[in-house]
Every structure is written in C-alpha cells, then in structure tokens.
Amino acid sequence: MATLSEKILGCWRLVSYEFKSADGQVFQQWGKDPIGLAIIDKSGYMSVQIMRRDRPLLAGKSPAPEAIKAAFQGYTAYFGPYQVNEKDGTFSTRVEGAVIPDWVGGEQFRYAEVSDTQVVFRTPPVRVGKTEAVGRLVWEKIG
C-alpha cells in the first residue's frame, strides 16, 4: 500500500478553496471558481499557485494603481522544500519564496488526505477578517 509521501507526488489542479468559521461563515478569497496548480516533486520540493479567474486586465503600459492592486490581491504563490509526517497525516513547507513576503522563511502547515485522484489539504485555524476559520483546499491529480 502506498504511503502518504508516495501518493502526494505529482501535479494537482485546484478543484475548490474555501475557509469556514466555526459558526458556518464561508470565505472565498479567490472567488467561487479559483484556478490553481500544485506541483509536489520527489526531490522534496513543492510549489503552488492560486488565482481568481476574474482578475482585471492591466491595460496599457502604465496600469492604474487600483488595477495593479487587484491583480496582486487576486494571486498567490509559494514554493520550498516540504516534509510529510506519515503518522500525523501532515504536510509542511518551509517557504523559500512567496508572493507574500512575510511568508518567506516561515512554514505553511496542512493536514493531508489523499486518494488515487484527489488530495484535500486542511489548514489549522487562521485569522480571516475578525474571525478564525479553517481552510479546505481540494485538488485533483493531473499528472
């Protein structure tokens, strides 16, 4: 039987991404139909990119500051070496590079559940606005 470390390898397309608070409030910071790609390699490195599908275009050579802000806020990415804890079913990445500079040098921690065709990553509770919520990211295997 394959281990979590073996099953998690590959290229994954984002199916859904949402945060839910204890009182049932749902947050979808990347919109209702975000797009994303995660690559988890046997070398021990991973990368992930997620974006809103409805980001505005940056028109012309000098886009307006509001358009630049919306483009930046509609996209995230990070990469680095990862570790899998088979016993706890967890996956953590030591962030070497990220769109969010504050993440660099830190750790992104997830609980992982993997089948042959999907991986579900859950976050520990994090602050979303004025409440705490747990993220649930569903990915389907594409390679």
Listing DSSP states for 21-83 in one string gives ETT--EE-TT-SS-EEEEEE-TTSEEEEEEE-TTPPP--SSS--HHHHHHHHHTEEEEEEEEE
Q: Which pLDDT belongs to residue 81?
A: 98
* pLDDT tens per residue, range 110-120: 999 998 899 99
Kindly report the pTM of this predicted structure.
0.90
* Domains recognised in the chain with CATH numbers: 4-141 (2.40.128.300)
Mean pLDDT of 11-34: 92
Q: What is the mean pLDDT of the chain?
A: 93
